[in-house]
Amino acid sequence: MFTKSEVNEQLLEWLAWRLTMKSLRQDAGVMETASHLKLGIGYGLVLRQLSETAAAREKAAFTAMQTSGITVLGVKEDRGETFVWWKQKGRPDMYRIADQLLQPAAQMKLGELIERL
């Protein structure tokens, strides 16, 4: 059984990959439809590939939580905060993180993806 701070670290890891994936997918759509860019489709394809890698990392982080006995019951984004309801060994709890803390974590994950290119 993990401590609450260890669970919070795992949840932050998962949420950061999740936000990175969502942002890259959104940016790819914008790039692909940008008529003023000559290589918009090419940029969009690169962003789509990065988003697929981020999706795989997000899934791996989620699977790691599940194998360690952490179950995510729900996620809600509201007023600049993300709430995650989770349980471990039958004990429910909630993780709350402000977008100001989640955004830098997602930027770090994006940096990891770009470094590996």
Structure confidence by residue, pLDDT tens digits, 85-98: 999 989 999 999 99
The mean pLDDT value of the chain amounts to 92
Long-range contacts of 57-61 (CB under 8 A, 24+ apart): 57/17, 57/109, 58/14, 58/17, 58/18, 58/20, 58/21, 61/10, 61/13, 61/14, 61/17
Residue 36 has pLDDT above 80, yes or no: no
The pLDDT assigned to 7 comes to 94
| Pairing, β 81-88 against β 70-78 | antiparallel
Percent of the chain whose predicted confidence (pLDDT) is above 90: 76
Average pLDDT over residues 32-44: 79
Q: Which two tokens stand for residue 21?
A: 């994936």
Residue 116 has pLDDT above 90, yes or no: no
Q: Please state the pTM of the whole predicted model.
A: 0.91
Sign of the four-CA dihedral 55, 105, 87, 81: negative
